[in-house]
Amino acid sequence: MTVYSVPLREMRFVLHDVFRAADTLTALPGFSDSTADLMDAVLDECAKLCEGVLLPINQSGDQEGCSFKDGKVTLPKGFTEAYKQYAEGGWCGLTAEPEFGGQGLPETLDYLVNEMIGSANLSLGLYPSLTQGTILALTALGTAEQKSAYLPKMVSGAWQGCMCLTEPHAGSDLGLLRTKAVPNADGSYSITGTKIFISAGEHDMTENHVHLVLARLPDAPEGSRGISMFIVPKYLVNADGSLGARNAFSAGSIEHKMGMKASVTCVMNYDGAKGWLLGQAHKGLAGMFVMMNKERLFVGSQGISVAETAYQSAATYAKDRIQGRAATGPANPDKPADAIIVHPDIRARLLFSRSIVEAVRALSVWTHINVDISHKHPDAARRQHADDLVGLMTPIVKACGTGYGSEVANTCLQVFGGHGYIREHGMEQLVRDVRITEIYEGTNTIQALDLVGRKLGIEGGRLFKAWISEVESSLKRLEGRNDMGEFTGPLKDAVARLQALTMWLTEEGKKDPNGRGAAANDYLRFFGLTVFAWMWVLMIEAALAKTDDAAFTATKLAVGRYYMQRVLPQIASLDAVVRAGSTSIMALAEGAF
């Protein structure tokens, strides 16, 4: 079984020491009560839930999986009871408006809560996260009547929310979808079509489901500009809030997946199901991105959730498993062999994993602080600046959080050797579970194309320049600090190299139609490694200020040095790969593949 203890100390270090989040958040309207003490108390309570309730059923949930019979889905043993405790604790409505029963807490805190839930039980954590995204869309786009009818039950966790986009013939290209919405005389619509890959589309854990379905009206224009979004409940809601008749849709089957087997993924058939327009007609795709952007940041947290559990499990195993001797001589002469943590390869794997986990966590917290600023700050210019930073970082958090999350899980499985490949230790489950995070909510290549094809080009690079100004501010503040030079020097070089590569890519994209597509993934990874270096500079600065804990500071310095010396230099090869262009990719004739 995997090992996981909530890294509260690391979370608090990033939240309080690196970013002083409470100072920023309590100054925002509506967050005056979000003090450091309150956030710590929330993290403490969530840690108890994760370690005591969610983690113990993670492996058994994977082994049992979900079952499907006569259109009904049954979740693994213990999941309904665990979800009930989750809902009763108010976790479903952590960031929801108090008007509808939510706690109105910051997205920054919600990120850390989601990270620890994903580390303990990735499958179970997906159900409420989908509801939270649905709550966000309804809050932003719903009428007063729609909010009143649906939000209180979803905020309480009594009803499940989910989004229904993909169709058998239309994956990432939603402009091809065919699901129809025909107006009814009473103002509702009849929804007909089939959706696939619908997470939490059907199960027995909640009393109702609220689907947000993308469909086309009869007068819809072609392509993505003709998509509308509809609220389609499993059970119709009566005027008094009680549940009425069963709606005309059902699960046709469930998918048999590689991982996350306790998270049900359904094929949903809508047979003239009654639905109601959410937001404006033909503006459904833009409306869906209200929740999609939150979900993409959430999926980034899923990647790092698994990476944290993988790292902790591998580190524990490496200190216990004995095999061979240290190159410098026996570390434990009284034993027949030394613990494998004495070997450079094992140490490199663990340090790589830890350096990535801590950097992504810091980036995610910083990004979510900016999410809160973009929603709440009284100054419009400050909101826009924060929104620009979030927009630029969303593809990086999603793609790097999940891409490196998968890499870390594989790296840590290797620490176990053959034992990692068998089910007993739980490492192979982590590798299987995390793999989907690189695919859903927009594949990582879609994130990379969004970065190079859209985000970099907005208003002459406004978003990129906003981030550069943040980094330059950090470097200027630390200028002349001899104790920081080994960290700020590599960051400064990486940023200069990134700026040069960005300019090259912008110009090359005008000449070569395939240039940006060929470069996108490698460019995003280059960008991500540079952002991580910035996070490490900020963490080292904060660690050096912690004069009360020399051991903690020494550990941060050691992990930060490893990152700067052994991970960040990868940007040199990525630079060369990006500049190689598309010629070698596109040259081979199609028939030769």
Q: What is the DSSP letter of 197?
A: E
Which residues fall within 8 angstroms of residue 117, CB to CB, at 6 or more apart?
A: 46, 49, 50, 54, 91, 124, 125, 305
Q: Output the six-digit token pair for 532.
A: 């991580």
Which residues fall within 8 angstroms of residue 341, CB to CB, at 6 or more apart?
A: 315, 318, 319, 347, 350
Which residues fall within 8 angstroms of residue 96, CB to CB, at 6 or more apart?
A: 102, 103, 104, 132, 135, 139, 151, 155
Determine whether 445 is exposed, middle or buried from the number of CB atoms within 10 Å of its CB (0-12, 13-18, 19+): middle
**Residue of 67, 63, 74, 86 lying closest to 1 (CA atoms):** 63
Tell me how far apart the alpha carbons of residues 116 and 114 are, in angstroms, rounded to a whole number.
6
Q: Output the six-digit token pair for 563.
A: 């990152």
CB 310 within 8 A of CB 122: no
Determine whether 151 is exposed, middle or buried from the number of CB atoms within 10 Å of its CB (0-12, 13-18, 19+): buried
Q: Output the six-digit token pair for 586.
A: 């596109």
**Residue of 198, 28, 215 lying closest to 130 (CA atoms):** 198
User: Of these residues, 295, 308, 428, 441, which one is catalytic?
Assistant: 441
Secondary structure string (H, E, C) spanning 453-509 = HCHHHHHHCHHHHHHHHHHHHHHHHCCCCHHHHHHHHHHHHHHHHHHHHHHHHHHHH
* Most distant CA pair in the chain, distance: 84
Residue 202 among the catalytic residues: no
Q: What are the CA-CA distances from residue 310 to residues 330, 404, 410, 448 (Å)? A: 28, 12, 9, 26
Backbone dihedral region for residue 122 (phi beyond 0: left; psi -120 to 50: alpha; all else: beta):
alpha
Hey, what amino acid is at 450?
Answer: D
Q: Output the six-digit token pair for 547.
A: 């004069």
Q: Output the six-digit token pair for 202.
A: 């059907």
Q: How far is CA 401 from the centre of its chain?
A: 7
Q: How far is CA 46 from the centre of its chain?
A: 18
Residue 246, helix vs strand vs coil: strand
Tell me how far apart the alpha carbons of residues 301 and 308 are, in angstroms, rounded to a whole number.
10
Pairing mode, strands 208-215 and 159-164: parallel
**Residue of 302, 303, 279 lying closest to 291 (CA atoms):** 279
CB 420 within 8 A of CB 414: yes
Which residues carry out catalysis?
441
